[in-house]
């Protein structure tokens, strides 16, 4: 956005100026740097730095600060550059803390300390600026919500599938019972029909046999009568 393109160079200008000034004229900052360096070396239990080493440290700090400010101004890796400036300004705030000083020195350090705190806050804000893109917490919340919705959808789908399976099983069972009843009824009807047909066939055969026997008896009697008549 246009506001970011304007605000970043404005924020970077003091860092570039202070960094270049410190790199070119480190002697103006060696006293404050000496105090901080001595505190660190005494805490670590190592030998203190000499004036040349302190000046080199001040010059390097100024050069890195100017470079990070330049990156922020031109918009190259602005978030990384802003966070680097915040990290580079933190030692200055520690060195310029006014709580152990008195008188005019305390007033001077208070102004520098407040300035350093403001610079740290501004660069941290610039470092976490996502330019309208969703942040990590939002993306995590979205993924969590999406996973929850997916799980809920899966549960609902499983419930629907289970209901459909139960309904299909019930329908299949009912159809099987109905088919079994129909098959039994059909078999019973077929058996009854076959039995009736067999009985009728037996009755027909029996009547035919009786008729044949009667006809044979008549023929035999007629033959016997003829034979008796001839004998007479």
pLDDT tens for 83-124 read 999 999 998 888 888 887 788 878 888 888 899 899 999 999
Q: What is the pLDDT of residue 137?
A: 61
The predicted model scores a pTM of: 0.54
Is residue 145 assigned to a domain? yes
Is residue 81 assigned to a domain? yes
Alpha carbon 170 to its chain's center = 38
Over pLDDT 90: what percentage of the chain?
23
Residues in CB range of 66: below 8 A, 6 or more apart: 15, 16, 18, 19, 20, 23
Is 57 in the same domain as 143?
Answer: no
Distance between CA atoms of residues 85 and 62, nearest Å: 11
- Round the average pLDDT of the chain to a whole number and report it: 84
Is 31 in the same domain as 103?
Answer: yes
SS3 130: coil
Q: Is 129 left (phi over 0), alpha (psi -120 to 50) or beta?
A: beta
Is 15 in the same domain as 102?
Answer: yes
**HEC sequence for 209-230:** HHHHHHHHHHHHHHHHHHHHHH
- Single out the residue in 99, 118, 133 at which a domain terminates: 133
Distance between CA atoms of residues 183 and 18, nearest Å: 102
Is 27 in the same domain as 110?
Answer: yes
End-to-end CA distance of the chain: 152
Per-residue DSSP letter, 100: T
Is 62 in the same domain as 163?
Answer: no
Is 103 in the same domain as 140?
Answer: no
Is residue 212 assigned to a domain? no
Lookup: tokens for 33: 């740097």
Is 100 in the same domain as 70?
Answer: yes
Residue 148: domain span = 136-184
Is 88 in the same domain as 142?
Answer: no
Is 58 in the same domain as 6?
Answer: yes
Is residue 93 assigned to a domain? yes
Is residue 206 assigned to a domain? no
Is 102 in the same domain as 114?
Answer: yes
The count of structural domains within the chain is 2
| Dihedral sign, Cα of residue 58, residue 61, residue 65, residue 67 | positive
Distance between CA atoms of residues 179 and 173, nearest Å: 10
């Amino acid at each position: 956005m246009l506001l970011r393109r304007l605000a970043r160079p404005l924020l970077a200008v003091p860092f570039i100026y202070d960094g270049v000034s410190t790199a070119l004229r480190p002697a103006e900052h060696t006293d404050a740097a000496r105090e901080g360096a001595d505190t660190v070396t005494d805490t670590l239990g190592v030998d203190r730095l000499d004036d040349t080493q302190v000046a080199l440290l001040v010059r390097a700090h100024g050069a890195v600060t100017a470079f990070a400010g330049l990156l922020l101004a031109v918009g190259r890796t602005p978030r990384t550059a802003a966070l680097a400036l915040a990290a580079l300004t933190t030692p200055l705030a520690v060195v310029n803390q006014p709580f152990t000083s008195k008188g005019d020195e305390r007033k001077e350090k208070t102004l520098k300390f407040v300035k350093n705190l403001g610079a740290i806050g501004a660069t941290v804000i610039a470092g976490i600026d996502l330019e309208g893109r969703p942040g990590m917490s939002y993306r995590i919340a979205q993924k969590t919500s999406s996973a929850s919705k997916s799980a809920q959808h899966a549960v609902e789908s499983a419930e629907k599938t289970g209901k459909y399976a139960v309904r299909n099983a019930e329908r299949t069972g009912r159809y099987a019972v109905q088919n079994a009843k129909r098959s039994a009824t059909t078999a019973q009807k077929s058996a009854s029909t076959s039995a009736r047909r067999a009985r009728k066939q037996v009755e027909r055969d029996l009547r035919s046999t009786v008729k044949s026997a009667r006809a044979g008896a008549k023929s035999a009697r007629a033959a016997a009568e003829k034979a008796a008549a001839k004998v007479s």
